[in-house]
């Protein structure tokens, strides 16, 4: 028997999603578990990823759990490798500094920039915020493993 689909994967109130963001089509696996996640293309080829902190993202203080922020950092910082390139990548190392909390209901956003490339390895720096509050910053090292199908 298939695992049940989590309520948050089905019940997605997109009325309060900021203009320009589109829901990512992750309907299985990790994306189903932590989603829904959103993305908006920015000027000069950049992007912003985002999610609304739901009950399934929170810790006992009703703030976004650090594990969720780490996972979001991974798929956001690493995305700079594949954004507009169709490259697959894996995470080699991810370092995140937590600066502030993101409460239940917060619209959390993140972006990254490529800072180095050496052979198949790429280094990215990123930041995560909600409103005017910086929530986390970090650096990731990612390995390119080929083109997407």
Residue-wise pLDDT for 107-145, tens only, equals 999 999 999 999 999 999 999 999 999 999 999 999 999
Say if 2 falls within a structural domain. Answer: no
pLDDT of the residue at 11: 52
* Per-residue tokens: 30: 């990790």
CB 141 within 8 A of CB 74: no
Once rounded to an integer, what is the mean pLDDT over residues 2-11? 47
pTM of the predicted model over 0.85: yes
pLDDT band at 16 (very low <50, low <70, confident <90, very high): confident
Q: What is the CATH number of the domain that holds 19?
A: 3.10.129.10
Residue 126 domain-assigned (yes or no): yes
In a domain, 18, yes or no: yes
**Residues 6+ away with beta carbon under 8 Å from 3:** none
Considering only CA atoms, which of 87, 85, 35 is closest in space to residue 56? 35
The helix or strand, by DSSP H or E, that contains position 69, with its residue range, turns out to be helix 66-77
**Residue 1 placed within a domain:** no
Provide the domain limits for residue 80.
7-147
Specify the number of domains making up the chain.
Answer: 1
In a domain, 134, yes or no: yes
Does 108 map to a domain?
A: yes
Whether residue 116 lies inside any domain: the answer is yes
């Amino acid at each position: 028997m298939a695992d049940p689909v989590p309520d948050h994967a089905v019940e997605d109130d997109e009325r309060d999603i900021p203009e320009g963001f589109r829901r990512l089509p992750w309907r299985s696996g990790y994306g189903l578990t932590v989603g829904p996640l959103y993305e908006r293309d920015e000027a000069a080829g950049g992007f912003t990823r985002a999610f609304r902190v739901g009950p399934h993202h929170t810790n006992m203080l009703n703030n976004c759990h650090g594990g969720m922020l780490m996972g979001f950092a991974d798929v956001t910082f690493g995305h700079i490798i594949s954004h507009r390139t169709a490259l697959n990548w894996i995470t080699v190392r991810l370092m995140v500094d937590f600066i502030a909390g993101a409460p239940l209901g917060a619209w959390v956003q993140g972006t990254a920039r490529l800072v180095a490339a050496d052979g198949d390895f790429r280094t990215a720096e990123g930041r995560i915020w909600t409103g005017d509050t910086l929530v986390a910053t970090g650096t990731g090292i990612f390995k390119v493993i080929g083109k997407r199908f």
